[in-house]
Amino acid sequence: MASGGGDAKSLTQWLREKGFDEETIGRMTRRCKNLPNLDAGEASGVWDYLLNHVKIEQRKLRYVVTKCPKVLTVSVDGKLIPTVQCLTTLQAKPGEVAQAVVKFPPILFHSVEQKLCPLLAFFQTLDISDKQLAKLLMVNPRLISYSIEGKFSQTVDFFVSLGIEKEGMIGKILTKEPYILGYSVDKRLRPTAEFLKSEVGLQGTDLQRVIMNFPGILSRDVNKTLRPNFMFLKSAGFSKDQIMALVAGYPLVLIKSIKRCLEPRVKFLVEEMGRDKGEAVDYPQFFRHGLRKSLEYRHKILKQMNSTCSLSEMLDCNQKKFAMKFGLIATV
């Protein structure tokens, strides 16, 4: 029954040899009630498989076992091997399965037939390929623990209610932002969408475009992040229509740091560049550019040359193209 040469020693002794101290062993024992009854040889077999076949680094494997000691109780032949093989056949890249286990060790506990197969079938209805599903699971392995009816279907129905097509479009959102599936529709996604509609003023295709381009905005807390940014832009003199245009053109304006990004850029635009705030509305990506490396540098060059241009002409190019455009280097 025991394997890996550990049958002559106690589990506690074996854990000590693997680098676990007494306090950690005690915590692991309290967390996993079956651990004290585990044979050291069986634990050694699991450890060796995860170390040598799944290729989890020893330091990270120690973290996995500390975080989830139940891993040591899983049958290698009956559970670990078929689960790992299934994850690997999803076209996961080398090393990704190991990363997924480190992120979410319980991925090893779920039944291939009862969880992975229905999950594959569900995502196929959203035009998500096996390869894309592999990416989703490798990035956010916790997905395997969610209920299809209780979690995934609700999220899909929510996107459909916003006018986003189930086939193709929703799949693109999920592959772009895998963690969005972990958020509650009622507690996070819907309130955020309502804020974007009612307070920011985004409707129809504008709202859909924002969500398609930056789905992560739906996972942000309205009161902690989005509304403070909205109120700052309002206090800075932008009208509601202008804020709506800014968000539609560059959604990240609602999540950028006010102190480190928005405030210094608005101040520089008005006080140093002498431009109207409306120019940022015409080119919302203005808030994407670095203050010192891009804005200050290029403004200084244009000022020295006594040259004027729009924000997009000034910023919508890399440094080399900027230099060529304004004659700083000879064109080839």
Domain CATH number, residue 259: 1.25.70.10
Mean pLDDT, residues 253-260 taken together: 96
Number of independent structural domains in the chain:
2
The answer to whether the beta carbons of residues 326 and 302 sit under 8 Å apart is yes
What pLDDT score does 302 carry?
92
What pLDDT score does 115 carry?
82
Categorize the per-residue pLDDT at 128 as very low, low, confident or very high, splitting at 50, 70 and 90: confident
Dist. CA 225–CA 258, nearest whole Å: 10
Q: Examine residue 44 and state whether it is found in any structural domain, yes or no.
A: no
Residue-number span of the structural domain to which 309 is assigned? 291-332
- pLDDT, one tens digit per residue, over 69-119 is 999 999 999 999 998 988 888 766 778 999 999 999 999 988 877 887 888
- Do 283 and 296 lie in a common domain? no
DSSP string of 85-141, one letter each residue? HHHHHTTPPTTHHHHHHHH-GGGGTS-IIIIIHHHHHHHHTTT--HHHHHHHHHH-G
- Do 258 and 194 lie in a common domain? yes
- Do 276 and 315 lie in a common domain? no
- Do 237 and 274 lie in a common domain? yes
- Do 239 and 277 lie in a common domain? yes
What pLDDT score does 2 carry?
39
Dist. CA 132–CA 127, nearest whole Å: 9
Q: Examine residue 13 and state whether it is found in any structural domain, yes or no.
A: no
What pLDDT score does 71 carry?
96
- Do 295 and 327 lie in a common domain? yes
Q: Examine residue 123 and state whether it is found in any structural domain, yes or no.
A: no
- pLDDT, one tens digit per residue, over 284-296 is 999 999 999 899 9
Greater confidence (56 vs 119) lies with 56
- Do 264 and 284 lie in a common domain? yes
- Do 276 and 329 lie in a common domain? no
Categorize the per-residue pLDDT at 6 as very low, low, confident or very high, splitting at 50, 70 and 90: very low
| pTM score, whole prediction | 0.82
- Do 247 and 203 lie in a common domain? yes
Mean pLDDT, residues 156-184 taken together: 91
- Do 283 and 329 lie in a common domain? no
- Do 322 and 262 lie in a common domain? no
pLDDT greater than 80 at residue 327: no
Q: Examine residue 238 and state whether it is found in any structural domain, yes or no.
A: yes
